[in-house]
Amino acid sequence: MTQPKTNRIPAPIYAAAGAGDLALEQLRKLPTVVAELRERVASDGSRVANDLGGKAVVAGFELRQKANEKLRNANLTAESLRRNADLNRLREAADLKRLREAADLNRLREAADLDRLREVADFNRLREAADLDRLRESADFNRLRQAADLDRLRGLAARNAAVVVAGAHAAQERALAVYSKLVTRGERAVGTGVLEAADTVNADIEATQASVQAAPATTEAAATTEMATTKKPAASVESAEVPSPAEVAEIAQAKPAAAKKATRAKATTRQPAAKRTATPSAKLPGATKRTRPAAE
């Protein structure tokens, strides 16, 4: 920040002077602000006081009216209670008189009832005697009914037993039929798979037997061809085609003894030739041989 330069007073002093001027202006405005606030407080206070006073008067008047009404109601209830108490007393007195009269009437009624009860007891005894005879007759009749009912019950029991036995037989037959159906279905379901497996096994056995029977025939044919080829001259052997290794192996497996004999024979033919060439006379040239003269 560059401060303005003056010739006589420095800049900070000017700043302090400006702040003081603003404060003076605000102080000059304070009296007007205070006067306005006083007027507002006075007006608002009078209004609030008037409102509160009116409300207090109204509330007091209402409370007085309510108190008067409650007092009147209390007085009325007290008077009504007094009257009711007097009436209750009179009613109790009247009730006592009625109770006394009723007690006397009850005594008279009880006395009359005793006589009636005695008469009724005698009548009841007579009824019991008559009822005993009726009961005996009814017991005999009930016995007869029970005997008849026993016969009916026996017949019904026999019929029910026959029905139960017939139902049991029918249920057994149904169960056997269902069981047989289930068995046939199971046999079909299982039998198809078993037959298919048996067919496949038989086919495999037949194929193996055919291959076993064909193997000796092939070995015999190979042996015959070998013999025929050995009897032909060397020229035919050179002109013929060379056999494959598989055929040679089959031939060797078929007749290993014949091959061994052939090799032995070849070895014996080679050994004498070698011996002949090994003699000292054979090593000499042909011109050195001596011949006898004709005269001799």
- Res 127 pLDDT > 70: yes
Q: What is the pLDDT of residue 52?
A: 78
pLDDT digits (tens, 9 = 90+) for 149-189: 888 888 888 999 999 999 999 999 998 887 777 776 666 66
Termini Cα distance of the chain: 168
Across the range 73-94, mean pLDDT stands at: 81
Q: What is the pLDDT of residue 6?
A: 45
State the Cα–Cα distance between residues 97 and 91, nearest whole angstrom.
10
Cα R_g (the chain), whole angstroms: 78
Q: Which of 19-28, 64-73, 125-134 has the lowest mean pLDDT?
A: 125-134
Instruction: Quickly state the pLDDT bin for 201 (edges 50, 70, 90).
Output: confident
Angle between helix 11-231 and helix 245-254 axes, rounded to 10 deg: 50
- Res 235 pLDDT > 60: no
* Among the listed residues 63, 62, 81, the one whose alpha carbon sits nearest the alpha carbon of residue 73: 81
Angle between helix 256-277 and helix 245-254 axes, rounded to 10 deg: 100
Tokens found for residue 146: 């029970």
**Three-state secondary structure call for residue 292:** coil
CA-to-CA separations, 202 to 63, 192, 197, 199, 209, in angstroms, rounded: 124, 15, 9, 5, 11
Beta carbons of 237 and 268 less than 8 angstroms apart: no
Mean pLDDT of all residues belonging to the chain: 72
Say which DSSP state 278 is in: T
* Among the listed residues 200, 196, 197, the one whose alpha carbon sits nearest the alpha carbon of residue 208: 200
Beta carbons of 5 and 12 less than 8 angstroms apart: no
Domain ranges of the chain: 18-166
State the Cα–Cα distance between residues 53 and 59, nearest whole angstrom.
10
Q: What is the pLDDT of residue 7?
A: 46
Q: What is the pLDDT of residue 273?
A: 47
Q: What is the pLDDT of residue 1?
A: 45
Tokens found for residue 287: 């011109």
Phi, psi of 261 (to 5 degrees): -65, -40
Q: What is the pLDDT of residue 5?
A: 46
